Each structure stands twice: as structure tokens, then as C-alpha cells.
Structure 1
Amino acid sequence: MTESHLHPPLAVTLGDPAGIGPEITVRALTTLGAPPAVVLGHGAALERALALVAPGWRIQPVTGPETPAPENALRLIDTAPEQPAPAYGAVAAAAGQAAYDAIRAAIDLARAGRVAGIVTAPIHKEALSAAGVKFPGHTEMLATYGGAGKVAMMLANDEIRTVLVTIHVALRDAIEQADFPAQMDAIRLAHAGAKALGIAAPRVAVAGLNPHAGEGGLFGREEIEIISPAIEAARAEGIDASGPWPGDTVFMMARKGRFDVVVAQYHDQGLIPVKYMGLESGVNITLGLPFVRTSPDHGTAFDIAGQGVAEPDSMVTALRYAVQLAAARRVTEEA
């Protein structure tokens, strides 16, 4: 990893302390060349992870990211002080609450400009619900508390990128929510997100909602009545958007270099192609926020938590993207 001079540091949340979040965070941040970071989350869970995968390191409790990091120490803002580490692999309200509190604290730091961005380890939706948290995932929390008007989820790896029109909703609801304004928001954010990743003139492909992109209205009229007009409106704004393309071939075309980013209509349409290519290389980027946020493209992996075998590759990739995006944002702000 490069850009180790990053200042201010990144905020890294541990995610659900019963999952692999603490392990992969420790593995990633104790790697040579890891960027400066302050960890937010369950202190006892971080202590347990250090003993498991990096026994030569220790915790430095801090109240803010400005405190310098001692050698072989991870700075920690503890969001569950004096609480015992939860059982591995078990849904627990206390674990969900600790994860939620860490995210809220990280957002506050980012909005105040005290960290360069946020990298979030995986959370467990059932644990959040058990804690009384009404959000289904990170993206919805970030949208509510992050000071943004419109946000979108971009999933990316070294070969393809996708932005979602709708996110964590039932498929029945996704069809209703994929309206003209939602199409425009996703296309604009896809264009801006690709530019933030260094693509000067992004080529945005928009996937259809129905099989064969509706086949001229035979399999549905959303492409004719909603998606195509949004593409034309985006083109009128100077965005190189095209489609609607059939969802079963558009990612193949993007992988071959025809497009830089694909706008997918619903969660699984966009995430299956990225995840099929390997969880270790994927990263989730929240677009539209006034600060950088990335995360690994996988879940809490309760089945292997605590075994010391969780690979940190996706977390390392998320950190790398966060550094890249934070540096690009800084250049833009200073221009």
C-alpha cells in the first residue's frame, strides 16, 4: 500500500465484533505500508483480534485521531468501553449497538474534517435490528447522517465497476423505486464516481430492468418509459451514457473494456457479477457523500470468525481505494 503520508488519517470501523471485522482490520493495518488510521469500535474485540493475528501489537486508547500513533500500536476510539467481547459468530444486540456507535462516531469525525475518510468493516443486519437500529446497512446510515443529498453504492474491482439504482429493498419494491429521478441520480453519481477514480471521460452503460432490456416492450415497458428517457436526459447534460443494455451481457461488455461503469437497476443485478469475480478484490464505495467511504465487498463471515483464517485482501483494497479517493478529493479542493 502506498500514500502512507496521508493526513489526516483514515477512520476504520471494526464492524460487528462477533464477525471477522476485527481480524481483517488488524491484519490490514499491521501490514507494511498501511496508511495512517484510527480504529473505532469494540475495544475488547480489537484486543482479542490482536492476540489472535498480531500479538506483537498493542492498543493505544485515544479520544481523537489527532493523537500520534506509537510504534506497533493501533489507535482506538472505544465505542463499547468496559464491555466484554461477544461470542464469535452469534447475533447479539450489544454487538450491533457497538458497530452502529462506531459508524456514527466515524461519520462525525469525517464531517468535521478530522479524518480523510472512512473504511468500514462488515456489519450484521440482524444484530443491528436486534439493537433497535432501523437501517438495513451502511449506505442508508451514511445517507441519513453523512450530510449528502443523494448517495449511491458503487461496487468495484480491477475489471468492472457498477452503481446501483436501488439498494437494500425487496425486489418488488426495487421495481417501483427505479423511477426516472432514481435513474438520473445513479447515472450522475456513476459518472462522478468514475471520474473520482481517475477516468477522465467515463463511459456509463445503463442496464435494463427486464429480460433482454424489455425486448422493445414485449417483456415490460420500463426501458421505454423510464430508463431510455433518463439516458437521453443524462446525455443532454454531457454524460456519455448508453443503453438500456441487457443485464445478462452488459457486464461482459464492460469487462472487455467497452464501458467504464455499469448502472444496475437492483442489488443482485449489480453485485453478483462483481462478487463472482472474487470477494478478495472487490470494494464498496459510497458515492455522493462529502467525504470518502469504502468497505470490503463481503460480510461478517460468522462461520470462520475467531479462527484466524479470514483473509484481509478486500479490506486492504478498501484502504487503498480510500487513500486514492481522499488524495483526489484533496487535489480537487485545493485547485
Structure 2
Amino acid sequence: MSAQFPVARPRRLRRTPALRRLVAETRLSPADLVLPMFVKEGIAEPNPIGSMPGIVQHTRDSLRKAAHEAVAAGVGGLILFGVPAVKDAVGSAADAPDGVVQTALRDLASDLGDSAVIMTDLCLDEFTDHGHCGIVTEAGEIDNDATLERYARIAVAQAEAGADVVAPSGMMDGQVAAIRRALDGAGYPELPILAYSAKYASAYYGPFREAAECAPQFGDRATHQQDPANAAESLREVRLDLAEGADMVMVKPAGAYLDIIRQVRDSVDVPVAAYQVSGEYAMIEAAAERGWVDRERTIDESLVAIRRAGADIVLTYWATEVAQRLAR
């Protein structure tokens, strides 16, 4: 061989699809995916969400059908978001025994058994008439400690209805400790908590607020969700949640916070989840619809990036589709 040619040729391992598969450092598996699902009380047919093509607010029956489809594809978990028929200032429907989430939980627990992990978002924004994540004072501020009392009751209600994991997302100080005490006191010491530990005050949540009908009626959530400019703060939040009893931690959103996912993954020894949020979904779907990107390749690349950054679990609205494609 002439000295002018390279001895090291990394391209040798890229020559064929089979070789690339064999040496891939990061893999997607259906079991690592969690499907977020919206269920709305009082509708007769699934209600399409305009800003999230292909995603709907489910009826009780369509939720069960979609859950079966996801589980049949090998999706590892589902996470439920409820939209009640009636909202009030304290989110009474969030912990009502016959509330929309509790009813859906009993259906899915009966249908699915232990074939998938059924998670519940634990917050108040979908259930309050003001759209905020907690109890609002007369001055228009979120009362952190009063909100913790509501979260504790919601956690127990979800546990009683059959949740496998509760996932508090309100970013209230002390929320994990309050929920852990409530669950332990109600006889659910084995129920895991997936804490939304690093949840940013992000512009990427817009379509979700249409889906969950939870846009704030005044102000924003920057007083309790994290500033996108901060990174070290995330690690502090993670440490606090773990000290309070969290079993898993989450970073949300995912795509714009890959550096945070990696820092969290390197700093903890528990499972790390990342939520590929509604805005991430909507942007790819919109670009693909216009022919600007290859839809399937872009979806897969976005998910591989989240896994490569260190997420063990990925919440994504494409979970069923991707799981079905991986099984081909």
C-alpha cells in the first residue's frame, strides 16, 4: 500500500446497513418508549388536536383501543393526561374517585394487567379553571404549600385507581416528599414516583396546552418552572427530588435540553426519562408535511439523539408508530 493512503479507515464499518446496525452505539427499543395519551370527559368521538396532527383527545373507549395498539407494538408505558368536563379553582376533578383520569386508570389496569406500565401525570393545570399548576392566592400567586396538599390527595386517588407510577409535574418545592408521605401513609409504599425534576418554562409546550386545555388564564409558569438559561439549577432540583424519595427523574423538554439530559445521566444512578414534547412533535410534523424533511428519518434521528444524550426512557407521541416500525 502506498504511504499516501490512510491505514485507519473508519468507513469500513459503515459500508452496509448490516454493519452499521451491528456496530451502532445507541439503539431504540419499543420497551424504552412511553406514549402520552389525552382522555377527555364527555365527548362521544375522539377529538383531533389541530396543532398536533395525528393526536387526539380520546374518549374512554378510544383510549382503551389506542392503549391496546401501543402495548401490542411493544411500547413500554403509557402516561395519562385528563381533561375534565368541569373545572374549578382547586381542580376538584383531579382526585375525584369518578374523575376522568381515575376512570381511565381502572379501565386500563383491568385491560392491560402488567403488560405495560401505566403512569399518570400528577398536576392541577388540566383541572383548574385558571390553568395554573397549583392553588392561586388572591394576589394571583401560586401557593406552594397549599398545592402540596392537593398533590398528596391526587397521588392517593391515582394509586387507588391503579396507577403503576405517579409523575408529579408541577415543579412545586417539596412535592416529591409530600407525595411520598401520602402514598406511604395510604398503604402504597411500593408505588414509584417519576419526578419531573428538570422541567423548563419552555415555548415548546404550546400544542400541549391545546391538547390538555390548560393554557394559563393569566401570567405564566416561570415562577415555578426552570429558566431555560440555567443548567446547574437542574442538578440541584434532581438532587432534592431524589433526597425526597423520587425513584426516577425526568428532563422536559428533550430536544433543546440534550446537555441537561447528559448532565443528569452522569450525576445519578436512577433511571432518567426525557419528554419529547408537543412542540417538538408539531415542528417535525409540520416540516414533513411541507416536504422539508424526511419524516421517518427525522423522527428516528430525534429519538436516537435523546437516547444518546443519556435518557433511559423517552416519552414521545410517536411511541406506537416507532415501535411498530422497529418490529418490521
- Same fold, judged at TM 0.5 (above): no
Higher relative contact order (CA 8 A, sep 6+): 1
- Give the TM-score, by structure 2 length: 0.31
- Give the TM-score, by structure 1 length: 0.30
